[in-house]
Amino acid sequence: MHIHVLGICGTFMGSLAVLAKELGHRVTGSDANVYPPMSTQLQAQGIELMQGYDPSHLDPAPDLVVVGNALSRGNPAVEYVLNKGLPYVSGPQWLADHVLQGRWVLAVAGTHGKTTTSSMLAWVLEHAGMSPGFLIGGVPQNFAVSARLGGTPFFVVEADEYDSAFFDKRSKFVHYRPRTAILNNLEFDHADIFPDLAAIERQFHHLVRTIPSEGLVIYPAAETALKRVIDMGCWTPVQTTGEGAQWQAKLLSADGSRFEVSFEGVPQGVVEWPLTGQHNVANALVCLAAARHVGVVPAQGVEALSAFKNVKRRMEKVAEVKGVTIYDDFAHHPTAIATTLDGLRKRVGDAKVIAIIEPRSNSMKLGAHRDGLPDSVTQADQVYWFAPPNLGWDLAATTAGCTVPSQVCDSLEAIIAAVKAQATPGTQVVVMSNGGFGGLHGKLAAALEA
């Protein structure tokens, strides 16, 4: 079968394309923005990519068009599909119908940490010899790909609350029917499709309604929004993580790189890994709980996590030039920015930390999180903000409230010049964006080298 994927370079759609190829289909795809790491992964898989949404990409007609949720009415390829009556489906529906049927699905949902936690869980199962299938919205470094079918019934999926397609406004995750569900955390996000937090809570409850009574729901006890979701009605056993819960972690180093795990008061082992931050300790606990549900004893899970390598673009060290370290991070929400910088600060102590932030997500462009930005960067010594041209609010006025030195720049060149003037050996530079950021990491490294 010839499947054409519209919006193929999105992390979810790209992973879906990899699975379709592994099932033996001929897969092609098009996207407005073809950029790494997804574009390079797809090309390595032998998947043909086309730039833009020209209807000619769909001639001769494929057997099926899988439509990404970034596409809307008015898009030339979408209009062509509808006018020609070509068969089409949403990505989550295709995944449910062709990959997840009959599998033991372990779904990882939440505002933050889905990609990292999914990668952890897939790795823990792999380490235990369970050869899971997985679909992850990023490239996990313990595996060479972001998705695979796997050799057993177990399938780990990153379960996003974003909508499924222009014709299906349900959250993606309601399609997945998990048996084991991690609800990582819940905050207001996706202001382009949700009016308020209560609307997202309702979608999470739709997910809870699909989990069988022989399944398991796992969530951090301190997450009040998730507690409200469970209180709407839950027909499944629940395990909680965090302080006072069934699963707990005792920090053995302030930065979260060493901690002891206990389950129901009994120590299960010590995780020692290259990750930092309380958020990753929390991710580890829900992961261990989910792995135990499918038969991985916690001590084995702890051993696996000690060999875990984080996902690309999650505090990924991309360069070290003349003593200056540059990290690439996906953080694009004030909570994620704050926890990431806090983890780094605890690791590097008094070293100079420079944060470079692009408020690029749809929610950011709508101004949904702008009030949280000034307080999110208190652990940095210097912050450079990049104002994208289509930002609908005054970034300079918002960031004027920062308690650390802060500057808004309108070009990458201005950022590079400023960082170059400031950086000395030992400086830690974190570049934060949920997009390609114009290749800033490489340009900055080259400028420091020069």
Binding site for ATP: what residues are annotated?
Answer: 110-116
Among 344, 405, 334, residue whose Cα is nearest residue 376 = 334
Among 300, 276, 270, residue whose Cα is nearest residue 288 = 300
Please give the Cα distance from 259 to 269 (Å, whole number).
9
Alpha carbon separation from 305 to 68, 110, 224, 337, 356 (Å, rounded): 33, 20, 27, 23, 29
- Inter-residue contact 110 to 186 (CB < 8 Å): yes
Q: How many Cβ atoms are within 10 Å of 335's Cβ, its own excluded?
A: 17
Paired with 48 in beta bridges are 28
Q: Per the annotation, where are the binding residues?
A: 110-116
- Inter-residue contact 328 to 404 (CB < 8 Å): no
Q: Give per-residue burial for 179-217: e unless 16+ CB within 10 Å, then b.
A: bbbbbbbbbbbbbebbeeeeebbebbbebbebbeeebbb
Residues with Cβ within 8 Å of residue 215, at least 6 apart in sequence: 178, 179, 180, 181, 236, 237
Among 294, 261, 304, 249, residue whose Cα is nearest residue 124 = 304
